[in-house]
């Protein structure tokens, strides 16, 4: 996407965390309880092996990806795009960048977990992630309805 800048933060500071939180508050439907709190994000990003990538344009943060790794495996923990900027290839750019960053660290595989009815499933499949497991009734919506979680893996 023209004018989009991807910025990788190895040790995201408060500013980068706040930028991610601003997107998270808009991107995750509260009905599913999938968004993280600021303390959860700060706690995880303070650990080694985690990196946060921000997608920015003209100083505005439009999306982010959060990845953690250990040894030669990684997990895409969160991927979010501001709803006003969805369908502009920002999610694809963040995902591709996350995979490339993992590859540069000699990581061999990336995992992720997603609610089965999340539209992002199509993006993950298109990128080459393979479905490896289903966790029935893993997520609970605000209305009490249960949703399956799908686990995916990508060989890098």
Active site residues per annotation: 113, 124
Q: How many CA atoms lie less than 13 Å away from 106 in the CB half-sphere? A: 1
d(CA 83, CA 28): 9
Whole-Å CA distances, 59 to 87, 92, 106, 125? 20, 20, 31, 31
Residue 113 tokens, joined: 């977990």
- Long-range pairs, 125-128, Cβ under 8 A, ≥24: 125/152, 126/92, 127/92, 127/95, 127/96, 127/99, 127/154, 128/154
């Amino acid at each position: 996407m023209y004018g989009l800048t991807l910025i990788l933060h190895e040790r995201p500071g408060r500013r980068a965390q706040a930028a991610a939180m601003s997107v998270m508050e808009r991107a995750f439907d509260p009905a599913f309880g999938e968004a993280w709190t600021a303390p959860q994000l700060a706690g995880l990003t303070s650990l080694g092996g985690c990196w946060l990538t921000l997608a920015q344009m003209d100083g505005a943060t439009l999306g982010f990806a959060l990845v953690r790794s250990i040894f030669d495996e990684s997990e895409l923990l969160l991927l979010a795009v501001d709803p006003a900027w969805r369908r502009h290839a920002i999610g694809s750019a963040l995902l591709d960048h996350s995979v490339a960053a993992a590859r540069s660290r000699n990581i061999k595989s990336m995992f992720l977990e997603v609610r089965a009815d999340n539209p992002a499933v199509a993006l993950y499949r298109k990128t080459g992630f393979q479905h490896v497991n289903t966790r029935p009734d893993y997520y609970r919506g605000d209305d009490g309805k249960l949703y399956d979680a799908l686990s995916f893996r990508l060989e890098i």
